[in-house]
A and B are shown apart, each in its own frame.
Chain A
């Protein structure tokens, strides 16, 4: 048929009409959450990214769980007690808890889950965090006993963590493909690059929960598309909103934006092992050179708060009475001169490409530190090569760490002499810090812990290990139809009470 102008226009109009039929939303009572990247693994023991933590906390339970206000409460365990020397912990299990396949969860499952995690031949990324566990045993079907090698006051706290979930002892082989847990939602399907589909677990042990029929995690890498999807109602929740979007999206009438403080931190890693930061005065000078408040404004658009250590100012253990010296570039230059750098210091600062907030932090530091005598040359490297090429080798670079569930796990490996992260990042050693960290973990009394952690922060101000810039906020955007969800500072979701209006 000959093509004419008329047919061309006619056919394009027809196509446009056909296109404009927007389909009605799928299953009505399913909560759809927009996340960023494909999950690497469905095995809860192996999760290492924020997107995976969401999944692990919806499908599985641990012995204990952490509320949005960071209070630890029983989950699969009903209660627990510990011996006077803090080396023997006994957990009483909740009875009648059903796995998604209908089997009952018993103490043997708990023991098997921990043996799997602690297996030296296994590949659990977090095994070293449970080094203090000597053995796990089940005297009866409802009791689990942990025997520890050292007195450890925070065992129940670390059992809220993302990788220590209880899985059925008979079904560990299928965890990578058809995972089974006890959580409020059960696994249905997963398509890499597209979505993870979860359905309500009808046998969930808290009766009447969860309230929605299912949850879908939609993988949408491009932020502008994710925001469009939220505004259009293709998703109801946008996880981990970039902080520069908080103000803009808060103004939208159909959305609710929540920005909460977390214990995740970014900073400049100063290598204490090699010049110039092996000199305490140079580290002090770096801290005097810049104003952390200004960094928070410029890097986080105000969505965060300056900090001394990984303990965030929102935490009760934060040392709010310890005096931190004000930024004073002149004093910084003077200290540098005393340390043998009368003309200041020129050195590279390495920024992680692909971590925009941390890149911003690096550039901000480069600008602000000039006045204090630090002439920093920005170098950019892909974040994926940081572990292999930068960490522990470069004198100065930008990095950051995701919040950990307890103060001990976010401090001890990082600041204790010979701590696993200390050895990899900055090689710091300070007697007062070591003493305080040791004392804090060998007590289960919050008052004793608090006193020691405040001592530790005071010691850290006097002898800085590295530049902990700020505790960063975490933001989520919700459509107003979503109720019953609080934004969790650990960046996962508790959707047991979520509803869709």
Chain B
């Protein structure tokens, strides 16, 4: 009973968030400077041509009317047409989303594996030179933005060593090796900063556990150090890291957005590596003032966030009954 009430509340909340965001997205997009008619007509935009095109695109209707048309069409499954490209927005976004999800999924795997193992290594080598080097490297990775690593990676691996392609995408049907080789650099660069985040987190929680009494007790009983580390300390230390990764995993259902970091990174990485994903598509839509495409793209990102949060909350509630009770009582 309580669970049902909880679910209903969360579901209503989800719908509310989506509706609210649709108003916000629509509003913000319509106060962006610039004009799609100018963007389509380019250097040939005469005032008469601009006026005619605006009328044709329905840009002269009052904003509430435009909003209602957009929302009701979307509820009927019509996601509109990119007015610059004159193609259905749904298929453009669908294809781009698939490619972004691939990139994000691979990066997520690397972040989980790399972040946890580096964190463990640093914690078990606390205070030694290797720990200090790792710590320094982690701070550098966190502090320096993706576009720097992206360009550096291109220069080193494509220009100098000529090991990997400079751009980040080859269609799958062009050959698996080609396709995979193109993915290496974008995935690596996308993971860099987040690997550092996760490994910092793992390191500190592992240190906390290593200093705790039950580890002391285990050592006092004369257990071999290996056993202390792997059997006693690790499972406890991993909890916080797993929690963070679980949220990520929840988000992975959609796109593996690590609290906005991954999607921000995706926009940068996709642009530098010329990877045709959702990030590039959104940048394109913003540059050209392709409002229908931008609106739908933003709504998709919003929906992914909202859904992922929803799933994460359900997971928490399932794992921790106290959340459920508090949620129902509040």
Which residues of A pack against B, CB within 8 Å?
2-3, 5, 8, 19-23, 26, 37-38, 40-41, 43, 46, 48-49, 123, 125-129, 176-177, 191-194, 218-222, 224-229, 231-234, 382, 384-385, 387-389, 401-402, 420, 424
Contact = CB atoms under 8 A, between A and B. Distances in A.
Contacts of A401: 43
A219 B169 CA distance: 11
Given A125-B40, A385-B34, A41 B85 contact: yes
Contacts of A385: 33-34
Contacts, number: 164
7 contacts: A19-B181, A48-B44, A123-B49, A125-B42, A218-B274, A225-B167, A232-B166
B44 A125 contact: yes
B273 A225 contact: yes
A232 B184 contact: no
B95 A191 contact: yes
Contact of A222 (B159, B162, B272, B281): B272
The number of chain B residues touching the other chain, given as a range, is 35 or more
A19 B184 CA distance: 7
Interface string B145-181: 0000001001100110011111101110011011001
- Which among A127, A225, A227 has the highest number of chain B CB atoms within 10 Å? A225
A125 B49 contact: yes
A388 B34 contact: yes
B45 A8 contact: no
A382 B287 CA distance: 10
The 10 closest A-B pairs by CB, nearest first: A48-B42, A193-B276, A125-B44, A194-B276, A229-B166, A228-B166, A23-B178, A193-B280, A384-B34, A220-B274
A334 B171 CA distance: 65
Interface in B186-219: none
B29 to A, nearest CB: 14
A218 B46 contact: no
A219 B274 contact: yes
A193 B166 contact: no
B121 interface: yes
Q: Chain B binding site: helix, strand, loop or mixed by DSSP?
A: helix
B284 interface: yes
B165 A234 contact: yes
Nearest to A385: B33
A228 B41 CA distance: 33
B86 A41 contact: yes
Interface string B58-102: 000000000000000000000000001111000010011000000
Contacts of A387: 35, 38, 45
B47 interface: yes
Contacts of B289: 384
B271 A221 contact: yes
A48 B295 CA distance: 24
B155 A224 contact: yes
A123 B52 contact: yes
A128 B35 CA distance: 20
B135 to A, nearest CB: 17
- Which among B47, B174, B274 has the highest number of chain A CB atoms within 10 Å? B274
Given A8-B117, A19-B184, 16 more contacts: A5-B121, A19-B181, A22-B162, A22-B163, A23-B178, A40-B288, A191-B171, A192-B92, A193-B274, A193-B284, A220-B167, A225-B274, A228-B166, A232-B162, A388-B35, A424-B46
A2 B43 CA distance: 63
Given A49-B42, A193-B276, A225 B85 contact: no
A176 B86 contact: yes
B175 A384 contact: no
A2 B235 CA distance: 12
A30 to B, nearest CB: 11
Contacts of A402: 43
Contact of A388 (B33, B46, B92): B33
Given A48-B41, A125-B45, A40 B85 contact: yes
Contacts of A37: 284, 287
A23 B167 CA distance: 13
Contact of B276 (A177, A192, A226, A424): A192
B56 interface: yes
